[in-house]
Structure 1
Amino acid sequence: MDELVHDGDVVALEGFTHLIPVAAGHEIIRRRKRDLTLVRMTPDIVYDQLIGAGCARKLVFSWGGNPGVGSLHRFRDAVQNSWPVALEIEEHSHAGMANRYVAGASGLPFAVLRGYVGTDLPSVTDTIKPITCPFTGERLTAVPAINPDVAIIHAQRADRRGNVQLWGLLGVQKEAVLAARRSIVTVEETVEALTPVPGAIVLPAWSVTAVAEVPGGAHPSYAQGYSERDNDSYAAWDAISRDRAVFTDWLDQHIFTESKP
């Protein structure tokens, strides 16, 4: 982890409801990384934990919350009260974030879309700029590519050569890895050979910097075919995250007491 994630890096931990790389996020906290720009379309409780632990100086996102429960209280405290450190935010739409990853994966400097026209986001986000189509004259908006220093995802399995296979409810994991300078994939298991799965995607070994076998590495989210979503953990997080002292105690008991892999 120390060789791939450095203080001050732009780090994207991607996953959409499913296959969220929670264990990797906890390892970043355990290694006490600082001044990170955290990027994610839908930051949920692992980003709340990273922010509350003081790892982040900026969040680039399109929606944030504890899914099915409510707010991210450590995120809110950082924005409103600068605790434990001030947090800068850069807000986009889902479409804007997805297209930024696609542009990054495609080697393009920016993406163009209609989605911001008529919204207030361009007035509060400097990375949304108007652009005129050179062919039709239509007024559109441009957003810069996202090229993280490190992209981190969780997947079901990898083979011995480092090819990664994931399936089920997916987000922008593929695009994030292809856009990033370095990538880490935690997997449920390592197998000799990948067998076909309907709807699965495979990230070739050349696109992945490191693979680590971490069974249950998505908990409390789920990994289709391996685990179910732990709804009680999401509900419990609301009370833990509301109080600074309770949260700090949770870090000491559940993160800093665990040994490094």
Structure 2
Amino acid sequence: MLEPNRKTRHVVNQAVEELQLRPIESGSWDDAVARAGREPVGIVVADWEAMVSDVDTSDSIRLAHRFKSAMLRLRSVRESAQSYAPRVILTAGATSRERYEQAHAAAITAGVDAFLGPEDLRLSTILESYLLRLVGELPPHASSAAHVADAFELPAVHLRHAESGRWDASRIAKALGVPLKTLAQSLGAKYSTVHKTPHAEALQSALAPFGNVLAMLAQIYNDDQRAIAAWLQTPQRQLGGLTPVAALCEPGRAAAVEQWAAGLWMGDVG
């Protein structure tokens, strides 16, 4: 996801959360392409101006050429990594009508899968419909572990329901040191539903980032609960000054925090 506009990013996060997809945020198109070469990427949602920031947008032909070149870069690196081409949705959350129409025409000419303007992005439902359709069109082998740590064996029995073996929201909330109601809000679920069945199948995808972060911390700190609690409550520069537990509990942000924590766990970042 490459979306600098705050309002549009909120809509995108809502759509991604509703469909229980895992977002990977990028700061530039170069970064998005680089990440696509390292991680399983099926769909890219990007602001059109951020995608072609170095091009004279008044020249429709040149703009279309730049869109196509940018997509070819993305698809070539992804195809070499996984043998399928990711789909591309471009957004125009804040732009004039003239610039929108010009960019829209150029994007469609270049073969972009969808181009959504300001009216389309007032609510997340339109974006959700495109994401749902494009996810369904991806080949079966495009699917992969939904979360960073899913490919590894991490001890997490204390975070799972004793009978079902699924992630248990009550246990995770206790381990995080937050009320179950707070965790339910972070999941976008009704508290009454989570309280009644904290290990429900429908909650598993949303709970996975929380469970994986706690499981990685248990391994990093040799299950020292004091050390884990201290880490969770220590403000982090990389999280904009938030504590990890506060960042995790921001709706739509848990997967990104999980990725960052996985870097710490693997020793990639300090």
- Greater per-residue helix proportion: 2
**TM over 0.5, shorter chain:** no
Look at both structures and tell me which one has the larger radius of gyration over its CA atoms. Answer: 2
Taking structure 1 as the reference length, the TM-score comes to: 0.30
Taking structure 2 as the reference length, the TM-score comes to: 0.29
Structure with the bigger RCO (C-alpha within 8 Å, sep 6+) is: 1
